[in-house]
Amino acid sequence: GYDAGKKVKGRKRQALVDTDGRALVLDPQPADVQDRDGAIPVLRLSRRSFPFITKAFAAAGYAGDKPASARIIAVEIVRKPPDQVGFAVHPRRWVVERFFGWISRNRRLWKMRKRPSPPPEPSSTPQPS
């Protein structure tokens, strides 16, 4: 898929991190899946592994009826202040950005490329001549 907003081809990563920025759930998804639609599988995965999580903070891209109606975990949307002009670090959202900064230091985690297919297995049957 292709995400026209983020200019990403192939797939993108949905991440749920704790308050210190450590990864709890990572879910690669096709790039054409909207963030608000991709949040539901991440919230379901987190519920299985971390049933004690009751609240999640999310960017405005996750606002919508689907994440709010999932009722798995309460989702609080962190919005920019109405008087803000230009770029500013928003509370709670920088934690996820810091996590993606950490994993981008490792090239294998940064580059999401398809791995080459393994070489064909040698055949034990004789080939016709």
pLDDT attached to residue 117: 47
Statement: the pTM of the whole predicted model exceeds 0.85: no
Strands (E), 1-129: 2-3, 8-9, 11-17, 23-30, 55-58, 74-77
Helices in 32-106 by DSSP H: which ranges?
35-49, 65-69, 93-103
Rounded CA-CA distance 71/52 in Å is: 14
For residue 57, give the amino acid letter: F
Structure confidence by residue, pLDDT tens digits, 37-87: 888 888 888 888 888 888 888 887 788 777 666 667 888 888 888 888 888
pLDDT attached to residue 125: 42
> In the numeric block, which tokens belong to residue 65?
């009826």
